[in-house]
Amino acid sequence: MPLDFIYNTERVGGDVSICVTGLHTFGIDSFLLSDFAAPRKKDVACDLCSGCGIVPLLWFRDRGRAPGKAFAVDVQEQAVAQMKLSAEWSGLGDRLVPLHADLCGLTALPGYPTVDLVTCNPPYKAQGTGLLSAEEGVRIARHETLCTLDEVCACAARLLRFGGRFCLCQLPERLVDVLGAMRANKIEPKRVRFVQQRADSAPWLLLVEGKRGAKPFLTIDPPLILRENGGISAEMQRIYANYGKV
């Protein structure tokens, strides 16, 4: 795809730079999901609905702890073009592989019949809910127009090895949908963490981890608090790390 779009460059820490546009950018939820997933050094990982690729790119801020290989899948050509620029700028070679594909038909990744970890920051709004954006790319990112939550979980199940992990973020109002879709696709929910702005506020986001083929047992982690004592919490400072620093 020709680079006929206007973009900016942002440093996300370490030697990692990311290409962002008005169509494919990122928010705090991507930082939270990337940290929650915490891939291991030898893992082969895959991020679905990757957009600008922020979730896997954040893993490579510390090359010594990053997964051995990460795929970043998106159905939109511009998103993949942005990810390729980011991988080039960040000197990631073949450790980060942008992949232009529709997850609904994705059965395996090039060279890897199964992977250790799948992540996804999916469209939050279910079909038939919320106001649709006039911009197609934004509409695809925010609403289940091209893929549903069940299709995301089905894709994760196809890609994961037995015992492999699937991590995603969603709105708290869709907790039952998430757990149901995971179980329907033989991914057992194992861990849930709610994200709150303050200790006394209701959750605005949830993080869920499931394992393919695992036995039932769900752990509720302590909530992740974003702000405390009038500023950013200590945990959020750790998650942001050296974001934006040269």
Report how far residue 190's alpha carbon sits from residue 173's, in angstroms, rounded to the nearest whole number. Answer: 19
Q: Which two tokens stand for residue 75?
A: 């159905």
Domain assignment present for residue 3? The answer is no
Instruction: Please report the pLDDT score of residue 241 as a whole number.
Output: 87
pLDDT band at 125 (very low <50, low <70, confident <90, very high): low
Number of domains present in the structure of the chain: 1
Q: How far apart are the first and last CA of the chain?
A: 30
Residue 45: DSSP 8-state: E
Q: For the residues 49-62, what does the mean pLDDT come to?
A: 97
Task: List the CATH number of the domain containing 175.
Answer: 3.40.50.150
Tell me which H or E stretch contains 168.
strand 160-170
For residues 55-85, b (16+ Cβ closer than 10 Å) or e, as one string? bbbbbbbeeeebbebbbbbbbbebbbbbbbb
Q: Is residue 214 part of a domain?
A: yes
Please tell me the predicted confidence (pLDDT) of residue 133. Answer: 54
Residue 217: other Cβ atoms inside 10 A: 10
Domain contains 65: yes
Give the pTM.
Answer: 0.91
Residue 120: band (very low, low, confident or very high) from pLDDT cuts 50, 70, 90: very high
Could you say which DSSP state residue 105 is in? Answer: G
Domain that residue 23 falls in: 8-240
